[in-house]
Amino acid sequence: MTNLRHRLHEIVFEADTPAGKAFDVVLLLLILGSVAAISLESVPDINAAHGPLLRTIEWAFTALFTCEYLLRLYCVRRPVAYAFSFFGIVDLISILPAYLALFLAGTQGLSTIRVLRLVRVFRVLKLVHFLGEASVLRAALRASLPKIVVFLLTVVCLVICIGSVMHVVEGPEHGFTSIPRGVYWAIVTLTTVGYGDIAPQTVFGQTLASFVMLLGYGILAVPTGIVTAELTRRPAKTPVSTQSCAGCGLEDHADDARYCRRCGERL
CA separation for the pair 40, 25 (Å, rounded): 23
Q: What is the dihedral of CA 67, 93, 85, 10, to 10 degrees?
A: 30
Site for a second copy in 23-62 (CB under 8 A): 35, 38-39, 42-44
51 or 225: whose CB is closer to a second copy? 225
Q: Which range in 3-11, 51-59, 221-229, 256-264 contacts a second copy by CB under 8 A?
A: 221-229
> Are 260 and 245 a contacting pair, CB within 8 Å?
yes
Other Cβ atoms closer than 10 A to 129: 10
Q: Which range in 9-17, 76-84, 149-157, 238-246 contacts a second copy by CB under 8 A?
A: 149-157
Q: What is the dihedral of CA 221, 227, 233, 237, to 10 degrees?
A: -140
Rg of the chain, C-alpha, whole Å: 24
Least separation, in Å, of the C-beta of 12 and a second copy? 21
125 binding a second copy? (CB under 8 A): no
17 binding a second copy? (CB under 8 A): no
Least separation, in Å, of the C-beta of 212 and a second copy? 9
188 binding a second copy? (CB under 8 A): yes
Name every residue whose Cβ is closer than 8 Å to that of residue 105 and which is 6 or more positions away in sequence.
none
Least separation, in Å, of the C-beta of 13 and a second copy? 20
